[in-house]
Structure 1
Amino acid sequence: MDWLVESSKLTWTSWGIAASILLIHVAAFFSAFHSLQHVRTSQAAVAWVVGLITLPYLSLPMYWIFARHRFEGYREAIREVGNTHERSVAAIRRELTTPADCQSTNLNSPLEHVADVLDTPISEGNEFRLLIDGDAFFDTLVQQIQRARRYVYAEFYILRDDEVGKRFADALIERAREGVVVRLLYDEVGCLRLPGQYVQRLLDAGVDVHAFNTRQGWVNRLQINFRNHRKLVVVDGRHAVIGGLNIGDEYRGKNVWKDRWRDSSVAITGQATRKIQAVFAGDYYWAARTNLPEADWGDREPEAVQDSEHQAGPSSEQRTTSTSTATDARGRAAVCTTGPADIRPRAAMMFAAAIQAARSRLWISTPYLIPDESLMVALSMAKARGVDVRVLIPAVPDEWPVFLAGYHYEHELAELGIPVFRYYAGMLHQKAVLIDDSLALIGSTNLDNRSLYLNFELMIAIEDSLFIDDVAKALSQDFRDSRHSNHDRKPLRPWFARAGTAVARLFSPVL
């Protein structure tokens, strides 16, 4: 009888294994059909179909984690909050959108081209200050927070529990204890190494802290491939700082391969700050599903700001420090907010519109160089028009797969006659675009597939001669600190570097 029992167990085990295998293959078949309908490009769809049919055990989980390009639920969350907080949601729409599918500007400048393509309004009468590298950024950030009288909104991809991270937390805690409303968003993937006690300390002090939490809702359980890559701080709806820097010692050049972490940020005063505030509000609605009752949207009399120094902006002494530029500018700007919740590929459209508007100069600084085909065509067209096209990328890696994939596109650009320069004076993390003497874009968006299609990003397009001159001077120095790396068009040496580049390029859609 024992052998019958054992035989019965083996039979049920065999049937279970067979059923599991059949289920996996059936799920892979329907996933392949799903990919034909929903994957963004035909090349990617073909790759997924082949992988799902031939290697279903490996490809099936990867498909449902990495193949999605549209973030579900973000717009619905804003609509949901809008049912009970109509004023705030109306303010977000007013600050960030213009009527779609129609010409809303005269298209007389590169700024208007970018704003019109993105259906985003242009704000007038802003003041900008270019912040070069980490010390200028962190000093300005802390100063702005310390002067807050009503509220502070902060949002970062990465937070570190180190010297800079503690300084940032202390500034938030001090304001919260003084009765200022302080709200903080962070990306849970970017902050995987952030100790729980760091967040708990903020919560205990009265800071409202939320992870962005892309995995809300059963539909989004596997949405770990999306990131909130934005970096911003808004103070009292009047002052803002945005750029490419996260919160950590490494962004001051500490504990990295190079002594200098090259980055750029912008301190902003003016109408554009409410538009950046609207970006935070949309992200906050997704993360917390609630309103920002204290937010000043300019449709009511703001409370008096008691700190006259804060009202006046940075002092002349602060403006002339060695860590920031010596001029404050006044001009127009468009806040360019992009992400996987967009119906259209707005980040790629932003770059394409800026590139197509260039007439004499197009300088791009990016830590990651994985442009899609449409941007390669746009760059090629700019070069054909006789535009001075240059691309600045790191000489040392921040992320090895992306760094290796960049070599492939460096050689493709060489074939088009577009020079690529590698920066040797530090770790280049700057995301900046300079168009002629007319427009500068600075923010968090890299020239890679992840920033173009998978990340929530934030750039500001600035039209002001003084600010643009500051950016041009900074980039000119960056190019002097770099080497023209694709001039001779020689293949990589040794052979395993070429192999690594080829493999990295295969994974470029998810890098």
Structure 2
Amino acid sequence: MIDPLQYLDLDVSPEALLIPAALLFIHSLAVVSAFHSLLHVRTSQAAIAWVVGLVTIPYVTLPLYWMFSRHRFEGYREAIREVGDQHQHSVTAIRRELFTEQADRPTLSASSLSLVASVLETPISAGNEFRLLIDGKAFFDAMLMQIQSAERYVYASFYIIRDDQIGNQFADALIQRARAGVTVRLLYDEVGCLRLSNGYLRRLVDAGVDVHSFNTRQGWVNRFQVNFRNHRKLLVVDGKRAIVGGLNVGDEYLGDVPSMSPWRDTSVEVVGNLTRKIQAVFAGDYYWAARSNLPEADWQWDPDHDVPDPQDVSDAGDTQGLAVACATGPADHRPRAVMMFAAAIGAAKERLWISTPYLVPDDALLVALAMAKSRGVDVRLLIPTVADQWAVYLAGFYYERELAEIGVPVFRYTEGMLHQKCVLVDDSLALIGSTNFDNRSLYLNFELLIAIADRPFVSKVAAMLDQDFDNAKHSNQSGRPLRPWFARAGTAVARLFSPVL
């Protein structure tokens, strides 16, 4: 009788088992990740997409899932509490500047500014002066002048810093103040400054500038948080003057790069109480990046001249000096950036003009725009003709058609690269800063806008946008011929990736 076992080779080497074991591990981890996506991914559509991808092609989808699926940034609030254990006074000041208690919020919105402040749970600041900085030269002139005027400290945070002509002027200004005994602290985003040379950073550090990257991958929990960014652009000097806007530090923002020239962008220079709130935003980011306090920061507070009663703030009359710091990000427990834009859109009665370089809104904002249009509001959007981010640019064509179906016109700027982030509500409110009208800004980036209800300032913003629309063409009229098939295909593919663009 033949023994069947004699034909079996039972001498299996460990190397032969390695590949099956690795495959089993990958598929098991993919199944676990699929269940994780059902519990934690923000939308049901995205959860289904991740589950299908993880089950069918786990070798490709698994690493992408752990890099790009997360929408909540872990550890940021814990870092502030950690620093607060040793520096309670500073953390208390930050909370006072950026958050209001429920009892202090208006029950009925008296103004568009109050509505934005209420949904963000942040106080309105009075006693401010504003200067509109149109395009790069005005921004860089004001920024360098503010740095040179610093007597105690300079705080700066930018998404991108270039080692080029204007980047070196910026570095020289910081170095000069540091050598003069002024405390100078600089934050930069690790991804945005990926190409920034070590020599540039070393020159700053050697001169006494306190430099930190906003590294989103601190700690084991955050090891794969590569999809989050600190997209804020701000400067604070001595707690009294500040600049917030959409410009980074580089020659292209001056219009010195031919393919992107001229560069159209907007910032705001602020003098007054709002600067402490902008300073509080920097402090929270600094606590995360450096795990340290800002001992030199000026937090002096005068409630009689700083925060008005929200019930007394009205869209009527010559309001002056009122503003709100709109800081949003993936550490928020609620989608505060979406809520901010929805509040501003909902407050519009006569006109709503939005200028943004990236048009990838979510469903909630599309509904809000449709409701504003139905109320008879003059709703219009301004986006670029020139692309600096091709995937986002292509996705924008899809949403152009979506907006055309609800009667909202989209205009494409024809006089260069449009990069400004600006919202105008009636004649009463203007929002300017770093927050784009796209999913990345809404859910994945740390952003900062300032909402201003200063009538003279708002009128200047209206005149600026009026000129911008004169330099644009209506691009989503109904009845226009369809684009070539390859452009439509690229648009459709780009739209699929809109949650991470």
TM-score when normalising by structure 1:
0.92
CA distance in 1, matches of 2:252, 2:481: 32
Please point out which of 468, 486, 489 is paired with 1:496.
486
Q: 2:443 — aligned with what?
A: 453
Please point out which of 201, 222, 225 is paired with 1:223.
225
Q: 2:474 — aligned with what?
A: 484
Alignment check: 8 A CA contact 1:340 1:454 kept:
yes
Q: 1:62 — aligned with what?
A: 64
The SS at the match of 2:359 is coil
Alignment check: 8 A CA contact 1:411 1:489 kept:
no
Q: Do structure 1's residue 88 and structure 2's residue 78 form an aligned pair? A: no
CA distance in 2, matches of 1:460, 1:195: 32
CA distance in 2, matches of 1:106, 1:249: 46
Q: 1:342 — aligned with what?
A: 332
Alignment check: 8 A CA contact 2:165 2:251 kept:
yes
Please point out which of 256, 259, 282 is paired with 1:280.
282
| CA distances 1:161-215 after superposition (whole Å, capped 9, x unpaired) | 0010000000000000000000000000000000000000000000000001111
Alignment check: 8 A CA contact 1:414 1:489 kept:
no
Q: After TM superposition, give the deviation of residue 11 of structure 1 in Å.
A: 3.8
Please point out which of 344, 366, 377 is paired with 2:367.
377
- Please, which runs of 5 or more residues in structure 2 have no aligned partner? 1-8, 303-318
| CA distances 1:269-300 after superposition (whole Å, capped 9, x unpaired) | 01100000000000000000010000000159
Q: After TM superposition, give the deviation of residue 13 of structure 1 in Å.
A: 2.5
Q: After TM superposition, give the deviation of residue 489 of structure 1 in Å.
A: 4.3
CA distance in 2, matches of 1:32, 1:253: 46
Q: Do structure 1's residue 388 and structure 2's residue 388 form an aligned pair? A: no
Q: 2:315 — aligned with what?
A: none
CA distance in 1, matches of 2:224, 2:256: 34
| CA distances 1:403-457 after superposition (whole Å, capped 9, x unpaired) | 0000000000000010000000110000000000010000000000000000000
| CA distances 1:210-260 after superposition (whole Å, capped 9, x unpaired) | 001111101111001000000000000000001000000000111142421
CA distance in 2, matches of 1:195, 1:10: 52
Q: 1:304 — aligned with what?
A: none
User: What are the residue-to-residue correspondences of 1:230-241 with 2, within 5 Å?
Assistant: 230-241=232-243
> Partner letter of residue 382 of structure 2?
L
Runs of 4+ in 1 over 2 A off after TM superposition: 7-14, 100-106, 488-493
CA distance in 2, matches of 1:91, 1:105: 25
Q: After TM superposition, give the deviation of residue 466 of structure 1 in Å.
A: 0.6
CA distance in 2, matches of 1:95, 1:373: 31
Q: After TM superposition, give the deviation of residue 391 of structure 1 in Å.
A: 0.3
> Partner letter of residue 383 of structure 1?
K
Q: 2:145 — aligned with what?
A: 143
Q: Which moved more, 1:425-434 or 1:97-106?
A: 97-106
CA distance in 1, matches of 2:270, 2:84: 28
CA distance in 2, matches of 1:436, 1:23: 58
User: What are the residue-to-residue correspondences of 1:399-438 with 2, within 5 Å?
Assistant: 399-438=389-428
CA distance in 2, matches of 1:268, 1:55: 52
Alignment check: 8 A CA contact 1:240 1:276 kept:
yes
Q: After TM superposition, give the deviation of residue 396 of structure 1 in Å.
A: 1.0
Q: 1:325 — aligned with what?
A: none
> Partner letter of residue 24 of structure 1?
I
Aligned residues: 477
Alignment check: 8 A CA contact 2:151 2:238 kept:
yes
Alignment check: 8 A CA contact 2:239 2:275 kept:
yes
> Partner letter of residue 238 of structure 1?
K
User: What are the residue-to-residue correspondences of 1:41-440 with 2, within 5 Å?
Assistant: 41-100=43-102, 103-104=105-106, 106-298=108-300, 330-440=320-430
CA distance in 1, matches of 2:442, 2:362: 9
CA distance in 1, matches of 2:334, 2:186: 28
Please point out which of 453, 456, 460 is paired with 1:470.
460
Q: 2:14 — aligned with what?
A: 12
Q: After TM superposition, give the deviation of residue 15 of structure 1 in Å.
A: 1.0
Alignment check: 8 A CA contact 1:98 1:104 kept:
no
Q: After TM superposition, give the deviation of residue 9 of structure 1 in Å.
A: 9.2
The SS at the match of 2:126 is strand
TM-score when normalising by structure 2:
0.93
The SS at the match of 2:221 is helix
> Partner letter of residue 28 of structure 1?
A
CA distance in 2, matches of 1:508, 1:145: 38
CA distance in 2, matches of 1:186, 1:167: 16
Q: After TM superposition, give the deviation of residue 125 of structure 1 in Å.
A: 1.4
Alignment check: 8 A CA contact 2:252 2:261 kept:
no
The SS at the match of 2:218 is coil
Q: After TM superposition, give the deviation of residue 331 of structure 1 in Å.
A: 1.4
Alignment check: 8 A CA contact 1:113 1:357 kept:
yes
Q: After TM superposition, give the deviation of residue 100 of structure 1 in Å.
A: 4.3
Q: After TM superposition, give the deviation of residue 108 of structure 1 in Å.
A: 1.0
Q: After TM superposition, give the deviation of residue 104 of structure 1 in Å.
A: 3.5
CA distance in 2, matches of 1:163, 1:489: 47
CA RMSD of aligned residues (A): 1.4
Q: After TM superposition, give the deviation of residue 460 of structure 1 in Å.
A: 0.2
| CA distances 1:95-149 after superposition (whole Å, capped 9, x unpaired) | 0000148733651110000000100000001000000000000000000000000
CA distance in 2, matches of 1:13, 1:395: 56
